[in-house]
């Protein structure tokens, strides 16, 4: 059997079987296949968020180090891909926090004497805070399966009620409500870093 055929067959193995092979048998090759399977997806996802190739490379490596360290805590009933993208999102947020530039207050006052007066106006800060939350929310929604995000977006962003969503998606009303609740739980877990 040719080497390419062996590799192709290895890629046919499910994520869960690869995880089990690594955890139960200490099969390093299984972990290598799992990382190879997702490394380009994770790198491209991170690159879209940080727009810096070197940073994206570093964050991708950090993501897979976290996966390696925490693979024992992965719950088999979950989806590995969602778990992996949640770790990548948290790695992006950690990187953004650690690379936020601090500016001495005296420098701000020298460059903008009216700064103190504008401090009273908190609407600018609230706007920045809202945009940061929207960005985190968008990252979280990107990791949730589309059958949940459709319902969340139609309800929360388009203002449709559950009955209208049920009619639009041609799904039973209780299914729509259930998907909305499950989707919110997934988003909440991602945002809280679980």
What is the token pair recorded at 30? 């299984």
Confidence of residue 194 (pLDDT cuts 50, 70, 90): low
Distance of alpha carbon 17 from alpha carbon 32, whole angstroms: 13
Q: Is the confidence at residue 4, as pLDDT, over 70?
A: no
Q: Is the confidence at residue 17, as pLDDT, over 80?
A: yes
115-162 pLDDT, tens digit each? 555 444 445 445 555 666 677 777 888 888 888 888 888 887 778 888
As to burial, measured by CB atoms within 10 angstroms (0-12 exposed, 13-18 middle, 19+ buried), residue 123 is exposed
25-42 pLDDT, tens digit each? 888 898 899 899 999 999
Rounded average pLDDT over 160-185: 88
Instruction: Check residue 3 and give its pLDDT.
Output: 41
Share of the chain above pLDDT 70, in %: 75
44-75 pLDDT, tens digit each? 999 988 888 999 999 999 999 998 888 888 77
- Give me the half-sphere count of Cα atoms (radius 13 Å) on the Cβ side of residue 43: 11
DSSP 72: G
| DSSP secondary structure string for all residues of 68-136 | HHHGGG--TTS-HHHHHHHHHHHHHHHHHHHTPPP--HHHHHHH-TTHHHHHT-THHHHHHHHHHHHHH
Question: What domains can you pick out in the chain, each with its CATH number?
Answer: 3-100 (1.10.1740.10)
Nearest to 15 by CA among 30, 1, 25, 2: 30
As to burial, measured by CB atoms within 10 angstroms (0-12 exposed, 13-18 middle, 19+ buried), residue 50 is middle
**Helices and strands (H, E) in the chain, number of each type:** 11, 0
Q: How far apart are the first and last CA of the chain?
A: 43
Q: Is the confidence at residue 108, as pLDDT, over 90?
A: no
Distance of alpha carbon 148 from alpha carbon 66, whole angstroms: 27
Q: Is the confidence at residue 43, as pLDDT, over 90?
A: yes
Q: What is the largest CA-CA distance in the chain?
A: 75
DSSP 153: I
Confidence of residue 102 (pLDDT cuts 50, 70, 90): low
Residue length, the chain? Answer: 194
DSSP 77: T
What is the token pair recorded at 1? 């059997």
Q: Is the confidence at residue 109, as pLDDT, over 80?
A: no
Rounded average pLDDT over 172-191: 86
């Amino acid at each position: 059997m040719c080497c390419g055929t062996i590799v192709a067959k290895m890629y046919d193995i499910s994520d869960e079987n690869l995880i089990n092979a690594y955890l139960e048998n200490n099969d390093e090759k299984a972990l290598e296949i799992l990382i190879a399977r997702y490394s380009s997806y994770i790198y491209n996802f991170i690159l879209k968020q940080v727009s810096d190739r070197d940073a994206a490379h570093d964050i991708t490596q950090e993501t897979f180090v976290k996966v390696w360290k925490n693979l024992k805590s992965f719950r088999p009933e979950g989806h590995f891909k969602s778990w992996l993208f949640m770790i990548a999102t948290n790695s992006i947020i950690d990187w953004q926090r650690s690379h936020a530039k601090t500016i001495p207050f005296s420098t701000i006052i020298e460059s903008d004497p009216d700064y103190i007066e504008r401090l009273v106006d908190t609407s600018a800060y609230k706007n920045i805070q809202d945009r940061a939350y929207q960005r985190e929310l968008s990252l979280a929604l990107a990791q949730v399966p589309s059958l949940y995000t459709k319902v969340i977006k139609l309800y929360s962003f388009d203002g449709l009620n559950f009955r209208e969503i049920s009619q639009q998606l041609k799904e039973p009303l209780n299914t729509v409500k259930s998907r909305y609740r499950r989707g919110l739980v997934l988003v909440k877990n991602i945002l809280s870093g679980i």
